[in-house]
Structure 1
Amino acid sequence: MAEVSMEAKTKLTKLLLNVTIQGSVGAVQVLMSPESTVGDLVAAAIRQYSKEGRRPIFSSDPSKFDLHYSQFSLESLDREEKLMESGSRNFFLCSKKSVVDSGNESGSSSSGGGVTKTASSSSSCSKEAEEAARSGFPWLKFKDFSL
């Protein structure tokens, strides 16, 4: 019986999430339900950003943005993923990249022998991170963190 009452006490009803938006100073704090999805968080963060009157002003269309774990994460989160399953309470929101599957198109590069994607927007955080990785710090790509 003690286990049942302990579970009832520890059930989360709201999550306080920090979303840093590309080009903005400081994170936006959003209070969300644990059952909410990543897509819900994107929409709520954009609403909160606009409500606070922050600069720069950008589109209020959530479909134009991707959510990442950090500004250094190249892979965006799945919009259908539940917030509780993400394992984080800090996120980075940036403008969505225009994705072009590269075959033999110019401007694309191959890494690891797989198909890569090219961002057409210079404001894409993924493109900025890729450019930083190509610049004089090759040790960042292959740093071994084993103990």
Structure 2
Amino acid sequence: MPSPKSQRRGGTEEKNRKGRLAEKAMSFSGLSGGSSAAVLLQRPRTVPDLLAGRRNSSAGSSAAAVQFPPKLTKLLLNVTIQRSTGALQVLIPPDSMVEDLIAAALRQYVKEGRRPVLASTNARDYGLHYSQFSLESLDRTEKLAALGSRNFFLCPKMAETVQTTSSPSSSCSNEVDKPTKSIGLSWFKFTL
């Protein structure tokens, strides 16, 4: 609010005060206060609506994106090998089959020098499962894109299953069917 003095003088005091503020601002920015010519800073050119160009160009391409979704070039799959400490990450084309994934996982395992050392690196000696709890192995001719999972478990087949390849199931399902000979009444003695 203007003081009564500034009203009497016609606002000259207010003009002087603004001039002093301008001088202080110039001295703050490194310019000498003695120069009365105000130096204007160059303001960078800005675009008021940054998304305007994007909205216009994406309007035509959104219909194309709906019609043609991007094609998968590689799948990243996690394969855990029995008795191994962690999962292998395998990059493989989506049109590959289960047998290709087994071979790629075995190559990756040997390449990384993981432990324990595998008895065989032949893909025919192993079966691929959805998890360590699934009993039946996956069909070797099935495509990976049709499986619906990205996590798998690789289990070695038993010696008799490897020799006779007529059985499509792996060692896990054969282990369930075997009668257990070592279990008798010996465990019953400890419960009493």
TM bin, normalised by shorter chain, reads 0.5 to 0.7
Label 1:118 to 1:17 Cα distance change in 2 as closer, same or farther (>3 A): closer
How many angstroms apart in 2 are the aligned matches of 1:36 and 1:3?
Answer: 30
How many angstroms apart in 2 are the aligned matches of 1:20 and 1:26?
Answer: 6
Report which structure shows greater RCO (CA 8 Å, sep ≥6). 1
Q: Which amino acid aligns with 2:133?
A: F
The one of 118, 122, 129 aligned to 1:61: 122
Label 1:35 to 1:3 Cα distance change in 2 as closer, same or farther (>3 A): farther
How many angstroms apart in 2 are the aligned matches of 1:31 and 1:42?
Answer: 12
Cα deviation digits, residues 20-75 of structure 1 (max 9, x gap)? 00010000110000000000000000000000000111111111000000000001
Identity of aligned residues (%): 59
In structure 2, the gaps of 5 or more residues are 1-60, 162-167, 184-192
Higher helix share: 2
Query: Deviation of residue 3 (structure 1)?
Result: 4.8
Q: Which amino acid aligns with 1:85?
A: A
Q: When the two structures are superposed, what TM-score results if normalisation uses the length of structure 2?
A: 0.52
Give the alignment's Cα RMSD to 1 decimal.
2.9
Higher strand share: 1
Pair 1:70 & 2:143 matched: no
Query: Deviation of residue 4 (structure 1)?
Result: 4.3
In structure 1, the gaps of 5 or more residues are 100-116, 136-147
Corresponding pairs, count: 113
How many angstroms apart in 1 are the aligned matches of 2:83 and 2:77?
Answer: 19
Within 5 Å, which residues of 2 pair with 1:68-147? 68-97=129-158, 98-99=160-161, 124-127=171-174, 130=176
Largest Rg, 1 or 2 = 2
Label 1:118 to 1:5 Cα distance change in 2 as closer, same or farther (>3 A): closer
Aligned position for 2:20: none
Label 1:9 to 1:60 Cα distance change in 2 as closer, same or farther (>3 A): same
Label 1:5 to 1:47 Cα distance change in 2 as closer, same or farther (>3 A): same
Q: When the two structures are superposed, what TM-score results if normalisation uses the length of structure 1?
A: 0.66
How many angstroms apart in 2 are the aligned matches of 1:71 and 1:92?
Answer: 6
